[in-house]
Amino acid sequence: MVTGNSKVSKANGTLSLLLLLALLLFSLVPTEAQIGVTYGQSGDNLPSPQQVVNLYRSNGIRWMRIYYPDPATLQAIRNSGVTLLLDVPNDQIQNFAQNPSAAVQWVKQNVVPYAECISFLAVGNEVTQNIKQYVGPAMTNTLNALNSFGSLTSHIKVTTAIGMSELTNTYPPSNGQFADLPFMDPIVNFLKQNGSPLMLNVYPYFTYIDNKGTVSLDYALFTSPGTVVTDPNNGLHYQNIYDALVDSVYAALAKRDAPNNQGGPPNNSGRGPHTQVITSETGWPSAGGDHGLVRNAGGDSAASVSNAGTYYRNMISHAKVGTPLNPGPSLVFLFSAFDENKKLGDATEQHFGIFNTNGTPKYPGLNFNS
């Protein structure tokens, strides 16, 4: 990510405060691994937003993702030291694309008062086919709305979050390409022009359960003792499926002429990273039965407390390392803060929490400062 100019609107605080934030938060490639945790609220037994922010602070969690601008959460996060990835909800995207004033009003209400604690605006999260055409224009109108209040874009980057379903030909990783170019090309061009990262939701758990016999549990859990896949096109070695999935996105970006705009050094092979990819969601369920699809060799569900704890611990450690195509520390958002008992979909969707609702850790030994 690149730092923009330091002129800051009076409506958003002093020049010195926002310039300091820009320097501290947007020196990605990061100098150390940074771990965020997403905060969903689809539950009837969850702690209050203030309690959640206090929980993040007490555990050294410096980043939070929320999926809509919940006023209580935005108020609680002020002056907390926690920084936000804030979503523009999918149901706002068409209106933003067709009505620039709607984007301005939304930014005025939900961003301007809290600008000092927001670093990213994700315009949509894994959008459905019927609104794909509106995402690019909505991103542009969101950026213009930020600029209408001064240079908020000096420290708030506009992006969108995609899932791995937007990729095709992901094996080997260097073959990765986007499946829907009319959707992705405007997004990639926007990211290039504005020095913004691409947000990626990536779940080795789903890759594992959907590919029985070809993806091992060790490969999904970061526990393989050595190289599992060597990419024949570039000689890079992969010991876990997470790296392979993320690097397939870097390969897809390269095919759309998205060079590195983050200022990071090349790796030992001379290949530098491309437009930065930030993991906006990754996690492993502790229960739910694997959608009834596949069980491991022992007959147990892969969705278990043991496997989930292994995944989260190893993911936190791996954030220090980066991927073969983009080595070095990275920012990763773990999904999610709590089990959400009102979450729709398969049973596993309700069991991704890393904390119990009383604030105790579900998985002892997670070190968010590592």
E strand spans, 169-212: 177-178, 198-201
Angle between helices 181-194 and 132-147 (to 10 degrees): 20
Catalytic residue among 166, 281, 340, 349: 281
As a three-state string, the secondary structure of 232-264 is CCCCCEECCHHHHHHHHHHHHHHHCCCCCCCCC
Judge contact between 355 and 64, C-beta under 8 A.
Answer: no
281 is catalytic: yes
Task: Give which of 80, 207, 187, 78 is closest to 143, Cα–Cα.
Answer: 187
As a three-state string, the secondary structure of 106-137 is HHHHHCHHHHHHEEEEEEEECCCHHHHHHHHH
> For 213, phi and psi rounded to 5 degrees?
95, -20
For residue 280, what is the enclosing H or E element? Answer: strand 277-282
Judge contact between 279 and 332, C-beta under 8 A.
Answer: yes
Between β-strands 118-125 and 331-334, what pairing exists: parallel, antiparallel or unpaired? unpaired
126 is catalytic: yes
* DSSP code per residue over 64-87: EEESS--HHHHHHHTTSS-EEEEE
Cβ-Cβ contacts under 8 Å for 110 (sequence gap 6 or more): 69, 74, 86
Catalytic residue among 32, 126, 340, 349: 126
**How many Cα atoms within 13 Å fall on the side-chain side of residue 251?**
25
Six-digit token string for 107: 């930014």
Gap between the Cα atoms of 348 and 262, Å rounded: 36
Which amino acid, one-letter code, is at 163?
G
Catalytic residues: 126, 281
